Structure 1
Amino acid sequence: SIPWKRSYTTNYDNAIELSTRLNGKNIESLCTEDNPNDYIHTSDICLHINGKIENSTIEDLESNIKLSNSSYISADSFITSNWFYHFKRDIESCSALVFVGYSLYDLDIQKFLFDNPSIKERTYFVTRKDATHEETYFLGKFGHVLAIGVDGLGSLVKENIDTIINQELEDYTESLVKNENIYDHLNIRDAEVERFILHGDIKKAHIDRAISITQSIPYLINRRYVKEVCDIIKAGNNIVLVSELGNGKSILLKNVVANLTKNGIDTFVLEDDEGDYLNDLDVLSKLDKKIIVAIDDYDKYINLIEHFNAMQPSNINFVITSRSSEHERHRHEFSAFESKFLEMSIDLLKKDEVQFFIDIIDNIGIWGDIANWDKERKTKHLIRQHHAQLSLILLDLFNSPYIVNKVQGITRDLFKNPKHKDTTFSIALIETVGLKAKSSLISELALNNEIYNGKLTKDPAFRELFKVENNIATSKSSLFSLSLIKNYFSANYIVEQLLLIVKHLNSETGRSYEESQIFKSLVKFSFIERLLPEQNRKNNL
């Protein structure tokens, strides 16, 4: 009766499958040789980490079923399987991680439960009532220990069954989350503005408040496109916003969402990309109200766009974004859709928006060589020299002596630990490709698990560059990440690290969407060329 996201077991038998069947629910038995990509959005599965006896052959005893004591003690076969990445993603997104009847001999838990407060807080170990102090003390390092036995867990479920069932109400959605504006009366500080400009990191409350207050200090350009997009949406149209790398489409979308919510329109944002967002759309289509669905970087969810086109729900409109190059790749699909999407490029800043941006940078004082110019001269310079594009203006700022000296000081300390350096590179690479920097993906590309280590995420130097919340590195400035790679990693390091990543990804079967996107980018000459420092670039290609 519990809506488990997924089940994992070290047992060979079909006890889990049988018990669910007796309760009127069928789940599919899998082992680590099955392709995880076939089950990304499927919750009704049970993965047998050590293999399964049911439907096995004699040959399976040699290859797929691990019977020796050493198989129990070592977690390496699971860690090196294609499922481990997806297991880490499940850990990131689940509301609770429950181990039932766990034995110290099952797996080396330290290899896949990390020193991470967010994971620990959501982890529960149900042990036998007479568990030893040694067992409870050890497991307590990784989560909450409930010495109540399986029967005790069953009683706990029965006592709370109404709460559990309420999660599956008809209008419950997993991935598409209704936006609620936050109006906390927080005055933004100069340090927060600087972090926003450099890293794209800003509290939601500051975006939500900026649409309805006079900014005490300038920090967010209320772009004219926002009103245009909202008017188009209110008229019952769908729209796709496109821009080049670093021109502000993600922030603009957040601004649009805040405006729609302020005007009383229920607006849903795609947050959990592993949830069943197709079913969510079905759920929302049955509600008797107008709904807007906002999707950043829609190319990751093209099946959702196709589902929307097939359904053509009368009460739902989409506002979606994409990098220009990705949208070009999908343009032929949009032309065939019956559901039409208007298109708007948001690359160029209007003159008054350029001037407001100048006010922002004047206030935090990071101009560099043009600091002493008057406002009119700066305006002409940004329009003529940088074509009124935010990305080109920011790249120039990133090369200013103030920023260069600051970041050099940060990376000098951070890169003393090679694993921390690899992890930093991994995050920057993911953001440059345009993906969400989840801890699971970061660790795959860094080829280590340091991102789960509190020692790194609490490091002041690391926190200057990135903020990790809910196992996601929340710095959203792909432009800064590109600058970080080009300017603070040597060409030799970049090439060698990319080769290691490509080799690792190429050895995997059943790569996830994110891993496939990374791999595709890394085999493109044009992408590699963008990452390398301009000095001696040809010698390293």
Structure 2
Amino acid sequence: MAKIKDQDYEMWAREIARGSAVVFFGAGFSAGATGFDGELPLGNQLRDKLGEFCGLERKYYETKDLKDVAEYCLKKQDHQKIVEKLKDIFRVKQSKDEQKVVVGWPWKSIYTTNYDDLVCYAGKQVNKNIDILTLESMLPSKSRNFCLHINGCVDRLEPEHLDNSFKLSRSSYVNSDVFANSSEWKDKFMHDLQYSALVVFMGYSLADMPIERILLAKTESMRKKTIFVVADSKNSDDDPIGDNKFEGYGKLLKIGMESFVNKIQECWPQDTNLGFNYLEQIIISNSLDVNIRDNDLKLFFEQGKFKDGWLQNEVLQYLKNGHQIRKSFLGKGFTLGDKITEGIKDKYSLKNPIQSDYVPKLIPRKEEIDEAKRELARDSVGILGVFGELGSGKTIFLRQLAVTLVESGKSVYFVRHGDFISQKEEIDTLLKQLKDGNEKAIIFIDSYLNQLKISQYIAKKVKEVRCVKLILATRAVDGHGDEGCKSISEDSSVEIGQLSDLDLGIFVQIISYLGLWSRDLSGKSFKRQKGYLQRNCNAQMLLILLDIFNSEHIYNKLVRSLNNVLNDKKIKKILFVICFLHVANITSKDIALFSYY
């Protein structure tokens, strides 16, 4: 079992305090709480209570599974009486102190497989109103103070629920997908697991196979942010096989809930202003990690992976040296390294000489950045659209534009993926801060169709207030045809298309620097290499990445997009005809001529 350090508890306390953690309560969390029929039972204890309720001798149920005893009970007893019995068993009248503390923490979302109303009861004890929801409930639209009872809750229990939504008997468990009849709740649950900073399971035994199946499908990054708090090892038998099962999904803490609560409380941050979770503010650091190896640069163009520090440094260097780079580029171009100023007659007389070791490794996109800045400077532009085809470099362009705006004194934020309620809360907080401080900000949303709800909300706010502008980016094909796009009307737009003459020239030099030209082009003139990119790649980033860099990342994106399109047989036929006409060199004029005859 991995050793837990004090720094771990400090990190967990911070994430819980800032409202970016999800909690999942199992039966062990309710241990020690008292209902109207005594202490809340665990699995075998509930089996015994139902067996007694049915008037059976102990020998008939003591070795049976809870689901089987419940199934028998449903057949032999009046359903209304069963409901009343279950409410006596699971309605809470007293909770433990640590249960109240845990429920009082600002969780992003609360999930449980328990039948009892402990979470709601404990919430009231600490003046926190928590809505009890089941899979039949609508998703919350305004409040994060809810508890989803996946297997049902006695608070909402009616006789007709016993055979289906209240998962107690074997027949109610027939469907292996716990979210089978509620795709919206499944999407939210999966979304919470993916985008929360921390996932805490308390008193959970991994007994529910559907939940374990979901955990099994998650990634290594999910495992690193998941913890299981179970009974103290001093009060339970050693179980190395069981421990190993937990550790396959996250960190196991066999310390008991009380000790965990005390540890978190000790590490609770004093400063409650912990910043935003779903808004990333772009800040230019004085201590940037600017080092990049040649192989990392190659991976950047192949896969789009980059370090923020390096990208910021490249943008800042270009802002500082760009004028002289463009001046030196006139004519035949420039070489990298200390010969970058060879086109300037007297580089030592420059007002701001170029650093001799400056090597541009990022396509500047100066024309598009200047256009975006001009549009944003207009009072009539509150929403700016950024459109470009797959592989055009939209995401990198947004980061370049953001750094440029910050360097000019603007406040810039990127919206991170998350649930709408949490995103909305932070947007409202930001808008209030801007209004109170008489300040302004620019908000970026990349691939905004994947975050349409928050995009629509901010777009609405842009029209209502004067303190924020919005930049929305998506693929050009989506922007021109998707219904979601039509629900947001941008005031202006910037197209990320073909590379400019300067950008293409810089790309030629980067390819030379990395030694990626083919044998036919290696060592050839700058003009010939640039001409190849213009003719064979149409000066497009996508085609250059596929041709020169052989980008598997771009290739896979194209395959996924094409597969989606080819699912439509009609479109598939049209594409076939287009390809045939292209191969046969039949133009639109030829087609018009055929039609005439």
TM-score (ref. length: structure 1): 0.67
Amino acid in structure 1 at the alignment position of 2:477: S
Q: Is the 8 A contact 1:243 1:345 kept in 2?
A: yes
Partner residue of 2:419 out of 263, 268, 274: 274
SS at match of 1:366: coil
- CA distance in structure 1 between the partners assigned to 2:304 and 2:488 by the alignment: 35
Structure-1 residue corresponding to 2:253: 146
Residues 515-534 of structure 1 aligned to structure 2 (within 5 Å): 522-523=567-568, 526=571
Q: Is the 8 A contact 2:163 2:172 kept in 1?
A: no
SS at match of 2:493: strand
Structure-2 residue corresponding to 1:11: 114
Q: Is the 8 A contact 1:101 1:127 kept in 2?
A: yes
Runs of 5+ consecutive residues of structure 2 not aligned to the other structure: 1-103, 318-354, 581-597
Structure-2 residue corresponding to 1:389: 540
Q: Is the 8 A contact 1:257 1:267 kept in 2?
A: yes
Structure-2 residue corresponding to 1:97: 199
- Asked if 1:48 is matched to 2:48, the reply is no
- CA distance in structure 2 between the partners assigned to 1:23 and 1:164 by the alignment: 21
- Asked if 1:77 is matched to 2:220, the reply is no
Residues 416-427 of structure 1 aligned to structure 2 (within 5 Å): none
SS at match of 1:112: helix
Task: Report the alpha carbon displacement of residue 62 of structure 1 after superposing the two structures with TM.
Answer: 1.1
Partner residue of 2:468 out of 316, 326, 340: 316
Structure-2 residue corresponding to 1:132: 237
Structure-2 residue corresponding to 1:26: 129
- Asked if 1:293 is matched to 2:398, the reply is no
Aligned-residue Cα RMSD (Å) equals: 4.0
- CA distance in structure 1 between the partners assigned to 2:202 and 2:573 by the alignment: 46
Amino acid in structure 2 at the alignment position of 1:383: Q
Q: Is the 8 A contact 1:131 1:147 kept in 2?
A: no
- Asked if 1:348 is matched to 2:501, the reply is no
- Asked if 1:219 is matched to 2:361, the reply is yes
Deviations 1:360-419 (A, max 9, x none): 222223333752442212323433454432223334336xxxx4xxx8xxxxxxxxxxxx
Q: Is the 8 A contact 2:479 2:485 kept in 1?
A: no
Partner residue of 2:405 out of 254, 260, 265: 260
Q: Is the 8 A contact 2:447 2:473 kept in 1?
A: yes
Q: Is the 8 A contact 2:243 2:252 kept in 1?
A: yes
Task: Report the alpha carbon displacement of residue 107 of structure 1 after superposing the two structures with TM.
Answer: 4.8
SS at match of 2:406: helix
- CA distance in structure 2 between the partners assigned to 1:323 and 1:362 by the alignment: 30
Q: Is the 8 A contact 1:29 1:48 kept in 2?
A: yes
- CA distance in structure 1 between the partners assigned to 2:159 and 2:487 by the alignment: 53
Report the CA distance shift for 1:481/1:41 in structure 2 as closer, same or farther (over 3 A): farther
- CA distance in structure 2 between the partners assigned to 1:310 and 1:89 by the alignment: 24
SS at match of 1:76: coil
- CA distance in structure 2 between the partners assigned to 1:193 and 1:222 by the alignment: 15
Report the CA distance shift for 1:166/1:109 in structure 2 as closer, same or farther (over 3 A): same
Structure-2 residue corresponding to 1:251: 396
Q: Is the 8 A contact 2:199 2:226 kept in 1?
A: yes
- CA distance in structure 2 between the partners assigned to 1:370 and 1:265 by the alignment: 47
Q: Is the 8 A contact 2:280 2:416 kept in 1?
A: yes
SS at match of 1:63: coil
- CA distance in structure 1 between the partners assigned to 2:161 and 2:566 by the alignment: 37
Deviations 1:121-169 (A, max 9, x none): 32222223313321556434433333443444444455455559544xx
- CA distance in structure 1 between the partners assigned to 2:575 and 2:186 by the alignment: 31
Amino acid in structure 2 at the alignment position of 1:222: P
SS at match of 2:201: strand
Q: Is the 8 A contact 2:392 2:542 kept in 1?
A: yes
Task: Report the alpha carbon displacement of residue 209 of structure 1 after superposing the two structures with TM.
Answer: 0.9
Amino acid in structure 1 at the alignment position of 2:468: I
- Asked if 1:481 is matched to 2:585, the reply is no
SS at match of 1:380: helix
Task: Report the alpha carbon displacement of residue 303 of structure 1 after superposing the two structures with TM.
Answer: 3.6
- CA distance in structure 2 between the partners assigned to 1:103 and 1:69 by the alignment: 19
Structure-1 residue corresponding to 2:371: 228
Q: Is the 8 A contact 1:196 1:202 kept in 2?
A: yes
Amino acid in structure 1 at the alignment position of 2:227: Y
Give the stretch that moved more between structures: 178-187 or 351-360. Answer: 178-187
Report the CA distance shift for 1:70/1:59 in structure 2 as closer, same or farther (over 3 A): closer
Structure-2 residue corresponding to 1:328: 480
- The structure having more radius of gyration, on CA atoms, is 2
| Identical amino acids, percent of aligned pairs | 24
Q: Is the 8 A contact 2:459 2:488 kept in 1?
A: no
Task: Report the alpha carbon displacement of residue 42 of structure 1 after superposing the two structures with TM.
Answer: 5.4
TM-score (ref. length: structure 2): 0.61
